[in-house]
């Protein structure tokens, strides 16, 4: 049985053998240096802290100690 190939030499039928397999290709979204930290007040202990995201009004913010206690780490 003969298979046809496209301009890149890939088979038009059957399984994809090699090349791009799809899926996630993050391309270095991690380890891009220091994250921007934002000042916030912990909703649990009321201490000032810094978090790696911009706090949203109406959503609770926890310092690292209170977050660990809530998550059971």
pTM above 0.75, yes or no: no
**Cα distances (angstroms) measured from residue 48 to each of 2, 20, 40, 52, 61:** 69, 47, 6, 14, 10
Can you read off the two tokens belonging to residue 46? 């009321």
In the chain, domain spans:
38-71
Can you read off the two tokens belonging to residue 27? 């391309």
What are the tens digits of pLDDT across the range 21-48?
555 555 555 667 788 999 999 999 999 9
First vs last C-alpha separation in the chain? 58
Three-state DSSP class for residue 40: strand
More confident residue, 69 or 15: 69
């Amino acid at each position: 049985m003969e298979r046809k190939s496209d301009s890149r030499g890939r088979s038009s039928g059957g399984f994809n053998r090699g090349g791009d397999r799809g899926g996630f290709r993050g391309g270095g979204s991690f380890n891009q240096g220091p994250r921007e930290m934002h000042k916030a007040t912990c909703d649990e202990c009321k201490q000032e802290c810094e978090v790696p995201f911009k706090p949203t009004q109406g959503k609770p913010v926890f310092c690292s100690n209170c977050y660990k206690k809530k998550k059971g780490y």
